Chain A
Amino acid sequence: MVPMVMLVLTITFFMVSLAPGSPFSKERKLPPEIEANLNAKYGFDQPRWKQYTSFMGRILGFTYDQQSQSYSWHPYPDFGDSTKYKDRRVNDIIKEALPVSAILGLTAYMIALVIGLTAGILSSLKQNSWLDYLTMSTAMLGVSVPNFVLGPLLMIVFSLTLYWLPPARMEWMLEWGYLRIPTITTLILPALTLAAIYVAYIARMTRSGMLETLRQDYIRTARAKGLSEWRVVMRHALRGGLLPVVSFTGPALAFLISGTIVVETIFAVPGLGRYFVEAASNRDHFLLLGITAFVAVSLMLFNLLVDIAYAYIDPRIRYE
């Protein structure tokens, strides 16, 4: 996993370095001497190979101290300073924004799992019935309606017409260091908006997985043994039917917990997604690299968890 992350960061580093435009270019252009001061401050005046080795050193936990002119090591990566948010370090930005995105993402995925699995199972059991058509049409709608339409629609109904829920921003029921837990009333609309598309995907995948599994010989055997339909479905069919959903869960969770620009912007959620996109357009090199590293690690970690879950669910692929 470490070499893969280093490779991703190397590619990102050079892509960011080669992108046109400077982190310090603004509508009000800076005099060259001030731009030179800024470049010196962030090390952009150094040759690219030197910038790269210095950055990679920091990723591996080595920090160079200007005053003592020596390296120190710590067991965590140091992504350096943000060029946009001058009072803050990239590590602090990630620590602060990540829990917010993670809680929102996990809540959304939980909602998606509960609704999606239920809808998928029901439609597969009642294939080609009105219930199946209704659920799948709703799922298709969920895939088709983008969240920048759904979000405002929910907001109009629940916040600006009925005044039941706040239109945007999160209030916190618990704040403990970097960990902040939002109140249900402020979490519900962004979580539903984010969940909608995943509900649709999960429902469709569960349905097709279940339909395939229900036709398997071992299901017929289970039924022939006289097991109740509930037991056949929950004990035997669901395991096989869930496999596509499990594969989907890995990357979906990795992306969800690292934040989503659209929902975070609409509902003013202080998560990581906005930082990611804005870091690219601001050429905020170290912030972009820091979040990329985090997303890469999450993606690999969740895929690993998926592989483990696969082995648990499907005995056929277990290593003996």
Chain B
Amino acid sequence: MMMNLSCRAVLSVMLAGVILLTGCSSSGDYFGKTSPPDQQRLVYLNAAEPETLDPAKSTGVPESHIQDALFDGLTKYHPKTSEPVAALATHFETNSDNTQFTFYLRGHPSPRGTRLPNSETLRADYEAGELDEDFSRGHASPPDNIPARWSDGRIITAHDFVYSWRRVVDPATAADYASLLYYVKNAEQINSGKARLREQATGRFRLDPETGEEIIATEKEFKEDPNLSRLAAQSEVVKFTPEDLAARSLDDFTFQVDMRAPTAFFVNMQSHHIFYPVPRQAIEAASASGQESLWTQPRYIVTSGAFLLKEWRPYDKIVAVKNPQYYDAKLVALEEITFLPINDNTTNVNIYKAGAADAMSGNAIPQPFIEVLKRGKKDFHITPSLGSYFYLINTRKPPFDNPVVRYALNMATDKRAITEFLAAGQIPGISLVPPMDNFNQTRSLEVTIDGKSYDVLGYDPAAARELLAKAGFADGVGRNGQRLKVEILFNTLEAHKQIAEIVQQQWRANLGLDVTLVNQEWKVYLETLDNLHYGGVARRGWIGDYVDPNTFLDLFVTGSVNNGSGWTDPRYDSMLKEANATTDPLLRMKKLQQSEAYLLKAMPFVPIYTYTWFYLRKPYVRGVAPNLLDQHPFKYVWIDKEWSENRIADSEIAQSQSETE
């Protein structure tokens, strides 16, 4: 989610300045009021007004928080690791090469395969000391053979998944994130309106004699391309329809999916909202009234998650109440959640301080507050994030087409100075993929140039100058006597400007470059980036969709629309493809790391920093653990109504006394 309004940014900074004078003056260990509510009601500052509550159409983090409360998928995020835990599915099976997945839903009499982690796992992890809190709170998982139900009482079946996934890839739905389903066989062809040729005699689809694969093109191409139109004349042009999606229900509680290629991380993606089933009955009821998109309004919506939508007042509040039909309703402690769509960070902090809200989504605090909050406010937290901030390099524009120049830019950037300025625990950027379990980040990369070896990932201004000289720009001046010009493109936002100014100063001092800052309005910036119309480097941020290195590494495969650097390499594509086809998880991670090292050697970007999440949360809000995606499943959250600062102080004293004894 981006704050793309310049006026809002300016406002935020000015307000923060004014309010900071007195706003942070609250004494004590906590920021503002800390008396817990007397009921299990949570008020959550949700950063922005949701664009939609339809899981198939939404794209932002604020929407995902509300959808987490309202809907379940095959899996949901683990409260700490963000890995998949059982939700509507309890078990899954995969074939030997990860090209077919079978999910067993709640209600299946004899599920097979791998059992997904559940409440028992959470309790065992807590007892083993791996979790700080028992998220199950002593509640057992509901039996697998009891079906899950929609909030209107209807049973959730595999047919609901088939309907929902077909709806996502249907071009008429115009789902922004439909591409996440492209891993499923035929999804891309359906979504992009492609067609194939059926031989009238045999009824089979025609194959390309060279590749042995089906001949697939758009209907327009079959008409206009001379070769294709000749073939089309002899066959029937059959357009892909949503029914062609390779996702099927084997029975009411068995859902099976065929992939277009081995996809080892497919189960990890299932907690993403795009895969959630949607209620056909509610959508059809809204369609009958004349407007399908109204199905997310309280008068139509039917949910599968722990909460029901009670009220949605745009830019005011969204109220969700506990869903009595939820399969795990015994575990759900909260009776009500109110989401406040406040998109001004200073207002967010004010509401929190006044005690009118209990928790907030990540990174919704103005920069000037962070330094003050970090000093002794126990309800301020900084945790790692699955996000990277980097400068794309336009590799199609000389001299940035020369990797040696790109190495010089990276080695002349002191990332630590930037993270110290940002001051919210950000990690200086070395590579693309943020720190992640089982994935060894590439920390250094030796490259030999003219017989001398350089660590191109380290900060080394002298070596950077040397490399720039080798590329023909001694002291930043080219052979034609002109100083090398570099533009830093960013969208209008104070934080981006400040980072760009630091980098500008570093590249001027370390390399002698002529660095100019180019600041563009959000949509114009996106267009410039997309068309590679920038003259040097461009700011970019990327938050992973799921906890797997692939969500970062596939940015740079050939054909990725999010590349932005102009760099592609078939070898990299095949390395990544091979890694993702590897079934052994550890070996796969190793191959992914090798792919990243190959990418870093090409260096189409300068890593700047790894994001963190920083937020305020009242001490009485429990059942929340820091995690990479800032997704905190509300089904585990509860209010400790007995909490008081004195009780904590007493327990700390008692603990120190017992230690002394």
Closest 8 CB pairs of A and B: A21-B523, A33-B192, A270-B315, A86-B52, A167-B350, A270-B316, A37-B174, A25-B526
Set B5, B291, B315, B340: member contacting A281, Cβ < 8 A: B5
Contact A87–B5 (Cβ < 8 Å): no
A12-28 residues at the B interface, CB under 8 angstroms: 19-22, 24-28
A156 to B15, CA, bound (A): 11
Bound Cα distance from A169 to B355, whole angstroms:
13
A98 to chain B, nearest CB (A): 12
Set of chain B residues within 8 Å of A281, measured between Cβ atoms: 4-5, 521-523
Is A169's CB under 8 angstroms from B356's CB? yes
CB of B314 within 8 A of chain A? yes
User: Quick check: is A96 within 8 A (CB to CB) of the other chain?
Assistant: yes
The CA-CA distance from A41 to B176 in the complex, in Å, is 12
The complex places the Cα of A278 from the Cα of B5 at a distance, in Å, of 7
The closest CB in chain B to the CB of A65 belongs to B290
Known: A25-B530, A37-B172, A37-B173. 16 other contacts (CB 8 A): A19-B523, A22-B523, A22-B527, A28-B562, A33-B171, A37-B171, A37-B191, A86-B57, A87-B52, A152-B346, A156-B22, A160-B353, A168-B347, A170-B316, A266-B344, A268-B342
Task: Using CB atoms, name the residue of chain A closest to B530.
Answer: A29
Which of the listed residues B11, B19, B316, B526 has the most CB atoms from chain A within 10 Å of its own CB?
Answer: B316
Report if B157 contacts A (CB, 8 A): no
In contact, A159 and B54 (Cβ under 8 angstroms): no
CB distance from A156 to the nearest CB of B (A): 5
- Known pairs A86-B57, A160-B23, A278-B5; A167 contacts B176 (CB<8 A): no
Q: Are B15 and A160 in contact (CB under 8 A)?
A: no
Interface string of A249-289 (1 = CB under 8 A from B): 00000000000011001111111001001100111000000
Measured CA separation A81–B294 after assembly (Å): 12
**Interchain CB contact under 8 A, B526 and A89:** no
| Distance, CA A234 to CA B59, complexed state (A) | 61
| Identity of the chain B residue whose Cβ is nearest the Cβ of A84 in the assembled complex | B51
Given contacts A160-B350, A169-B351, contact A27 B2 (CB under 8 A): yes
The reply to whether the CB of A161 lies closer than 8 angstroms to some CB of chain B is yes
B18 on interface, CB distance cutoff 8 Å: yes
Can you list 19 A-B pairs with a CB-CB distance of less than 8 A? Answer: A19-B523, A21-B522, A21-B523, A34-B176, A38-B174, A85-B51, A86-B52, A149-B18, A152-B15, A156-B19, A167-B353, A168-B347, A169-B316, A169-B356, A170-B316, A265-B347, A268-B340, A277-B7, A281-B4
**Does B178 reach chain A (CB closer than 8 Å)?**
yes
Chain A residue with minimal CB distance to B491? A27
Q: Which residues of A contact B22 (CB under 8 A)?
A: 156, 160-161
CB-nearest residue of chain A to B49: A85
> Which residues of the other chain, A, contact B315 by a CB distance below 8 angstroms?
97, 268-271, 274
With a cutoff of 8 Å between Cβ atoms, the chain A residues found around residue B54 in the complex are 86-87
Interface residues on A, range: 35 or more
Asked whether any CB of chain A lies closer than 8 Å to the CB of B541, the reply is yes
Min CB distance, B324 to chain A, in Å? 25
How close is B278's CB to chain A, nearest CB, in angstroms?
13
Q: Tell whether B297 is near chain A: CB-to-CB under 8 Å.
A: yes
Whole-angstrom distance between the Cβ of B358 and the nearest chain A Cβ:
14
Are B316 and A93 in touch, CB under 8 angstroms?
Answer: no
Which chain B residues lie closer than 8 Å to A159 at the CB level?
350, 354
- Residue of B with least CB distance to A262: B11
* A21 adjacent to B527 (CB under 8 Å): yes
Pick the residue among B14, B173, B522 that contacts A148 (CB under 8 A).
B14
- B313 adjacent to chain A (CB < 8 Å): yes
Give the contacts of B174-190 with A (CB-CB under 8 A).
Answer: 174-176, 178-179, 188
- B411 close to chain A: CB less than 8 A: no
Q: Number of B residues whose C-beta is below 8 Å from A? A: 62
A166 at the interface (CB under 8 A from B): yes
Q: Residue B524 at the A interface, CB < 8 A?
A: yes
Distance in angstroms between the alpha carbons of A167 and B346 in the assembled complex? 11
**Residue B256 CB within 8 A of the other chain:** no
B193 adjacent to chain A (CB < 8 Å): yes
Q: Are A168 and B351 in contact (CB under 8 A)?
A: yes
Name the one of A85, A152, A277 contacting B52, with C-beta atoms under 8 angstroms. A85
A303 to chain B, nearest CB (A): 27
* A306 on the B face (CB < 8 A): no
For the complex, is A32 an interface residue (Cβ under 8 Å from B)? yes
A29-B526, A38-B176, A281-B522 given; A167·B356 CB < 8 A:
yes
**Are the CB atoms of B350 and A85 closer together than 8 Å?**
no
B179 and A31 within 8 A (CB): yes
Q: Is B561 an interface residue (CB 8 A)?
A: yes
Contacts of A269 in B (CB 8 A): 315
Pair B351/A268 contact, Cβ less than 8 Å:
yes
CB neighbours of B523 from chain A (8 A): 19-22, 25, 281-283
**Is B137 on the interface with A (CB-CB < 8 A)?**
no
Shortest Cβ distance from B506 into chain A, in angstroms? Answer: 25
Task: Report if A141 contacts B (CB, 8 A).
Answer: no
Say yes or no: A88 contacts B314, CB within 8 Å: yes
**A270 in contact with B313 given A20-B523, A31-B179 (CB within 8 Å):** yes
Judge if A155 is at the interface, Cβ distance under 8 Å: yes
B293 interface residue per 8 A CB criterion: yes
**In the assembled complex, which residues on chain A have CB atoms less than 8 Å from the CB atom of B354?**
159-160, 163, 166-167
The A145-187 residues at the B interface (CB cut-off 8 A) are 148-149, 151-153, 155-156, 159-161, 163, 166-170
Instruction: Write out, one digit per residue, whether chain B residues 54-98 have a CB within 8 A of any chain A CB (1) or not (0).
Output: 100101000000000000000000000000000000000000000
CB pair B176–A30 under 8 Å, yes or no, is yes
A19 to chain B: which residues have CB within 8 Å?
Answer: 523
When distances are taken between beta carbons in the complex, the residues of chain B under 8 Å from A31 are 179, 192, 561
Q: Which residues of A contact B561 (CB under 8 A)?
A: 29-32
Q: Which residue of A lies closest to B60 (CB)?
A: A26
Q: Which of B511-553 contact A (CB under 8 A)?
A: 521-524, 526-527, 530, 541
Q: Does any Cβ of A come within 8 Å of B296's Cβ?
A: yes
Q: How far is the CB of B577 from chain A (nearest CB, A)?
A: 18
Q: List residues of chain A with CB within 8 A of the CB of B179.
A: 30-31, 34
**Shortest Cβ gap from B7 to chain A (Å):** 7
B156 interface residue (CB < 8 Å to A): no
Which has the most chain B C-beta neighbours within 10 Å: A81, A168, A282?
A168
Q: Say whether B53 faces chain A, with CB atoms less than 8 Å apart.
A: yes
Q: Which residues of B have CB within 8 Å of A169?
A: 316, 340, 342, 351, 356
CB-defined contacts of B2 to chain A, threshold 8 Å: 27
Asked if A227 is at the interface of the complex by the 8 Å CB criterion, the answer is no
How far apart sit A153 and B21, CA to CA, in the bound complex (Å)? 10
A81 touches which of B18, B59, B293 (Cβ 8 Å)? B293
Residues of B contacting A148 in the complex (Cβ-Cβ under 8 angstroms): 11, 14-15
A155, B354: Cα distance in complex, Å: 11
B154 proximal to A (CB < 8 A) = no
Residues of A contacting B291 with CB < 8 Å? 89
B8 touches A (CB below 8 Å): yes
B317 (CB) vs chain A CBs: closest residue: A169
Given contacts A21-B523, A34-B175, A88-B293, contact A27 B350 (CB under 8 A): no
Nearest B-chain residue to A81, judged by Cβ: B293
- Contact of A265 with B14 in the complex, beta carbons under 8 Å: no
Report the bound CA distance from A245 to B343 in whole Å: 36
Decide yes or no: A34 and B4 within 8 Å by CB, A20-B523, A266-B344 being known contacts. Answer: no
Closest to B2 in A: A27
Closest-CB distance, B341 to chain A (whole angstroms): 8
CB distance from A27 to the nearest CB of B (A): 5
Residues of A within 8 A of B522 (CB): 21, 281
Minimum C-beta distance from A72 to chain B (A): 11
Within 8 A of B (CB), among A67-115: 81, 84-89, 93, 96-97
Contacts of B530 in A (CB 8 A): 25, 29
| A22 to B99 alpha-carbon distance, docked (Å) | 36
Q: Bound complex: CA of A147 vs CA of B65, how far in Å?
A: 33
From B191, which residue of chain A is reached at the shortest CB distance? A33
Bound-state Cα–Cα, A85 to B561, Å? 24
B residues within 8 A CB of A266?
11, 15, 344, 346-347
Nearest chain B CB to A97 CB, angstrom units:
7
Q: Separation in Å of the B430 CB from the closest CB of chain A? A: 23
